Amino acid sequence: MAKEYVDIYTLKYLLYQVHGLDKLLETERYKDHDLASLDLFLDSVKEFSDRELYPYFKEMDQNPAQYQNGTVMVHKQVDVVMKKAGEMGIIAGPLDYDVGGLQIPFMIHTASTYIQEAANNHLPGYPGLTQGAAELIVHFGDDYLNKTYVPNMLAGKWGGTMCLTEPQAGSSLSDITTKAIPTQEGHYNIAGQKIFISGGDHQYAENIVHLLLARIEGAPSGTKGISLFVVPKNRVNKDGSLSKNDVHTVADFQKMGQRGYTTTHLGFGDSGDCRGWLVGEPHKGLKYMFLMMNSARISVGRGAAAISMAAYHASLQYAKERPQGRKLSSDGKKNPDEKPSLIIEHPDVRRMLLLQKAIAEGSLSLVLKAAKYYDLIQSTADKADKGKYRLLLEMIIPIVKAYPTEAGAIAVSNGLQVLGGYGYCNDFILQQYFRDIRIFSIYEGTTGIQSQDLLGRKIPLENGKALELLLTEILGTITLAMTFKDLHSQAKILGDKIKLTRKVLEFLTPFAKKGNYERYLADANLFMEFFAHVTIGWIWLEMAVRAQQSLEEKNQTYSKEFYESKIHSMKFYFKYELTKTLSLAESLMHDDTLTISDMRNIF
Amino acid sequence: MAKEYVDIYTLKYLLYQVHGLDKLLETERYKDHDLASLDLFLDSVKEFSDRELYPYFKEMDQNPAQYQNGTVMVHKQVDVVMKKAGEMGIIAGPLDYDVGGLQIPFMIHTASTYIQEAANNHLPGYPGLTQGAAELIVHFGDDYLNKTYVPNMLAGKWGGTMCLTEPQAGSSLSDITTKAIPTQEGHYNIAGQKIFISGGDHQYAENIVHLLLARIEGAPSGTKGISLFVVPKNRVNKDGSLSKNDVHTVADFQKMGQRGYTTTHLGFGDSGDCRGWLVGEPHKGLKYMFLMMNSARISVGRGAAAISMAAYHASLQYAKERPQGRKLSSDGKKNPDEKPSLIIEHPDVRRMLLLQKAIAEGSLSLVLKAAKYYDLIQSTADKADKGKYRLLLEMIIPIVKAYPTEAGAIAVSNGLQVLGGYGYCNDFILQQYFRDIRIFSIYEGTTGIQSQDLLGRKIPLENGKALELLLTEILGTITLAMTFKDLHSQAKILGDKIKLTRKVLEFLTPFAKKGNYERYLADANLFMEFFAHVTIGWIWLEMAVRAQQSLEEKNQTYSKEFYESKIHSMKFYFKYELTKTLSLAESLMHDDTLTISDMRNIF
């Protein structure tokens, strides 16, 4: 295990200097908070993570959560962390005062969870999903559901889950078949199977509150006939006591990574006695679920960003301590009598480390940007501004989900490579990060699904208004960067990438207009990669602008080297990563259609 | 587990039609063999792999080789496969008749091992390294060593290893410190530690013959003072009996993947009684070892190519069987009352499958190309031709090692993604391929080392002669492709890539000429990626030319669809992969030097 798993300085730099948390605190919603207290909160979360999360990271992998006799046995820290997360206000944090929340900015909540995930990504999902489930009840549930379930969930006493996927349907929610039959007593009888349920059961849970998608008898087919239910593992009797609700843990899924975070297969109503309570109106379940999906997708991007940061630190430490090989002298030879160099001296090792840094910090800043939009939607009084931030958030959500998870996996793989053979061995932690991060581009909608969302729904959103708003933001940063001589060249390059984006869309859009959606979306995955690079180019330029300003203002909050390193990483991103847009654009505007399904059999 | 793990038709197509094995059989060296008997041999290897390798693939992962009380306990199939490999002539196969070999073409040996590795990559290393160790003795050892060790090794009775790496030195062989002290009796006393020894010990081995690098007392420092020794686990007494040779298994390395293939830490001479026998002359150990390194590196590329092929088949089968989601209709919507599509109907799934196919088959053809050069060096009588093939082989070796291992890992990751959440679960095999293949870009020289070799040694080799020979070969294929209207466009593109290669080298070479090797080699890794793409573009165009010829000649050996699928995959490679050279060239010719080590502290 490495000495450090997170760069708390960069995290705070992004929060306070780049994304201007202070301005957010001037709004009505967040006026009770000040920077000093939030800063202390983050320090306390770091300390908590040092003590309760990081030390158990490896052993949770080695002793995975495991199905045993009808329940799942998880590591004891699940219990500790759930309760502490309740006590520390981590679960209730971002919720409104009137439902028992602390109304802390989502940016701070994001930073807090990021630290925990960097420390041990197997644990924060338990309180995290509990929070998500509680929020669904808060937003859409009636008074009875709120009173009955939410307080114990926010306190970390009861867990919460999201039950969407079914064995036969996978990502295709229109095919779910779990049944809900209305009863005279007001509740519904639930019957069906759900798989891939994160945190679906464990031995410490007094109760688990499942937010479940099901089809009310006679509902229309497809996504328009899906309703949302609260289905507790144990139902709450009038006197507050609990009794079983015919929810059974059928099995668990043993996985390649994130092995301490249980993934379960649940059966509902096997004995015909499972009760569910409708949340909101019938047939609107998917709509409710998707209103919460944005924060769920930010969470996944955040978790992957956190793992890539932790892996970066582990490989950086190794590179700084491990002597091996020698530098080339000017005759192209190496002198064996010289002392070996540290491997961080080798350019290729530095390249791998800088790649990790560029991806990890770029991902983090993108995630915080999304959290900021989220906060602005909540806190801005002006209706037009609210609408603007909502569109900006919608626009970047698929990228926030896809980029940190896809690029993060590459970053971690480079981190493993820095250690050579040791990186592949269980004695070193890199191989665990490598396995853990691989799930992030799958759950909460695969990269394929995010890409369809980006090109198929977000780019055309409100006739391209969301896209134009985002491009305007990017152009704003470019204009600012142009005022600094040292950033001039990269500012110009990013401007050219905006033009290239338009060119690519001009090539693709006619396919959609002609009704050939299959062709329009066939390379959506490449478009995601292309547009994510442009977006991260912007994110890095923004970081560099702030650093350059600080250098010129002789701002002493951070060292000169700190600011310079941000500009250096930006340049690295532009040289090694943003350049990829060139090839991607060429592929995207290629005339060959090789993946459309009605072609001859090619497999 | 999937029904199939290898595409034997494509393998034979490449051997017989693309790489013209028949011509090779006309040479003196291989005249005893004919296509029919070699074809039968491959079928018997496939049958052997079906029976003795593939069924144990998963359980060898789940019950890894494990150190216990001074030895390593491996799966029982290690014993079975070692002995069968001896009986079937797999170990002795490519060796000369006069040392007990069968003189089969290296191309066939490569195909045979490829099949075994696709079936179960945890097993073929045991006989494979034994063969490599035996070959070192055959080529450089004296009569005593040959008589004493080689027959039992070729028979699969005794194992063999290569002992290079030491704990303090890693990949830097100039820093090895294992000592060899001459004695009056002719042998040397050996003392030192070796790590990462594949197949270094197991309970079934009657004996293991270690080919070990050590430094004779008083030898010059660096790589010029390294000698090669035979150090058996048990020494052979005059009466043929065995007695212990003070070689101890200190520990093993538990790894993320390839867990059935033991990686050991060996101690030599802990009690001062470990004897080694010099191979060849003193101080020439590294030279001998490197003469064998080419085939070792081909082996690693081959193994990775095999895993990517097996993973492709597993994900292809899933995609053909799994219904999920629906195709978009012309209004951009999906009709939930329609039957779900098979996921292979979705363009993005087809893209992931075609990417796997393009990488897996491209890698295989490249590996067979290297094997063909290897055979031509052995079998060509003409001295100039021999020299030409030697240079061609030297030129492509780093690519043969790096491309299948790096691109293969991407291919397998795409295979895992095809299965969605199931891909991440232990019940499906993709996650095992994903873990297994990750070691291939590390051992036998990391991709970083291969890239330094390519740009630092191979490109300048004999004043660029090796490069020119390769480019001439590529231009030959382009000229041929130009004669087919359907291949014209891709032929032209590949021609442009040759020009781009020259342009990149014109940018880089001056740095080397001015003695700034650090700058010249700083982005060697990118150059590798660039040049490997050009090379695989050639490999695919060559495959497509042969397919197009067959189509026009109405050659019935394979179906029309088979030939068409090769041309389709070639086009896929050109659209989605070869395009990457554009961005890589831009990065390579970028003026920013961001990874050179004497810059300010940026981490």
pLDDT > 70? residue B597: no
- Chain B (443-502) residues lying within 8 Å, Cβ to Cβ, of chain A: 443, 446-448, 451-452, 456
Option in A328, A416, A583 nearest B583 (CB): A583
Contact partners, residue A120, CB within 8 Å, separation at least 6:
A49, A53, A54, A56, A57, A60, A260
Q: In this predicted structure, which of A54-58, A543-547, B328-332, B546-550 has the lowest mean pLDDT?
A: B328-332
Q: How far apart are CA A124 and CA A53, in angstroms?
A: 9
B255 in A contact zone (CB under 8 Å): yes
Which pLDDT score, from 0 to 100, does residue B1 have? Answer: 77
**Burial, B146: exposed, middle or buried (Cβ in 10 Å; 0-12, 13-18, 19+)?**
middle
State the sign of the Cα–Cα–Cα–Cα dihedral A220, A221, A225, A231: positive
Please list every residue in chain A whose beta carbon sits closer than 8 Å to the beta carbon of residue B442.
417, 420-421, 423-424
Distance (Å) from the alpha carbon of A510 to chain B's nearest alpha carbon: 13
- When mean pLDDT is compared across A237-251, A491-505, B132-146, B318-332, the lowest value belongs to B318-332
pLDDT at position A57 is: 98
Q: Which member of B117, B166, B361, B444 is catalytic?
A: B444
ipTM of the complex as predicted: 0.97
Q: What is the pLDDT of residue A597?
A: 66
What does the pLDDT read at residue B297?
A: 96
Coil, strand or helix at B463: helix
Q: Give the DSSP H/E element, type plus range, for residue B4.
A: none
What DSSP character marks residue B462? G
Angle among Cα A291, A293, A298 to the nearest 5 degrees reads 125
Q: What pLDDT is recorded for position A340?
A: 83
For B223-269, give the DSSP string: GGG-EEEEEESEEEPTTS-EEE-SEEEEEE--BSS-TTS-EEEEEE-
Tell me which chain B residue has its CA closest to the CA of residue A576: B587
Contact with chain A for residue B9, Cβ under 8 A: no
Tokens of B175: 């820093």
pLDDT digits 0-9 by tens, A297-348: 999 999 999 999 999 999 999 999 988 877 777 677 777 778 888 999 999 9
Statement: residue B599 has pLDDT above 70: no
The domains located in chain B, with CATH, are 8-154 (1.10.540.10), 159-283 (2.40.110.20), 456-595 (no CATH)
Which chain A positions have a beta carbon within 8 Å of B421's beta carbon?
165, 170, 196, 253, 439, 442-443
For position A171, what pLDDT does the model report? 77
Beta-sheet pairing, B159-163 with B188-198: unpaired
Q: Which residues of chain A fall short of a pLDDT of 70?
A: 330, 597-600
Enter the DSSP assignment of A340: P
Rounded Cα–Cα distance for residues B77 and B63 (Å): 12
Element (H, E) at B307: helix B285-321
DSSP letter string, A122-159:
TSTHHHHHHHHHHHHHHHH--HHHHHHHHHHHHTTSSE
B48-62 average pLDDT score: 98
Per residue in B258-291, pLDDT tens? 999 999 999 999 999 999 999 999 999 999 998 8
| Reported confidence tier of residue B600, pLDDT bands at 50, 70, 90 | low
pLDDT bracket for residue B172 (50, 70, 90): confident
Name the residue in chain B with its Cα closest to that of A523: B348
Indicate yes or no: CB of B417 within 8 angstroms of CB of A603: no
CA A222 – CA B337 distance, rounded (Å): 7
Q: Per residue in A143-182, pLDDT tens?
A: 999 999 999 999 999 999 999 999 888 778 888 999 999 9
Work out the widest C-alpha separation in chain A, in whole angstroms.
89
User: Could you say which residues from 162 to 221 on chain B have a Cβ atom under 8 Å away from some Cβ of chain A?
Assistant: 165, 169-172, 174-175, 196, 221
Residues of B in contact with A487 (CB under 8 A): none
SS3 A228: strand
Residue A500 and residue A579 in contact, taking contact as beta carbons nearer than 8 Å: no
Out of B325, B452, B564, whose CB is closest to A171? B325
- Residue A131 · residue A111 · CB < 8 Å: no
For the record, the structure tokens of B558 come out as 């394979």
Flag whether residue A55 sits within 8 Å of chain B, measured between CB atoms: no
Q: From CA B133, how far away is CA A159, in angstroms rounded? A: 58
What are the tens digits of pLDDT across the range B404-422?
999 999 999 999 999 999 9
- Which of the four pLDDT bands, split at 50, 70 and 90, describes residue B497? very high
Average pLDDT along chain B:
96
Q: What is the pLDDT of residue A527?
A: 98
Q: Which of A463, A440, A466, A445 is nearest to A398 (CA)?
A: A445
Partners of A193 in beta bridges: A267
The yes-or-no answer on residue B552 being catalytic is no
The predicted model gives B380-403 an average pLDDT of 97
For the record, the structure tokens of A386 come out as 């609210």
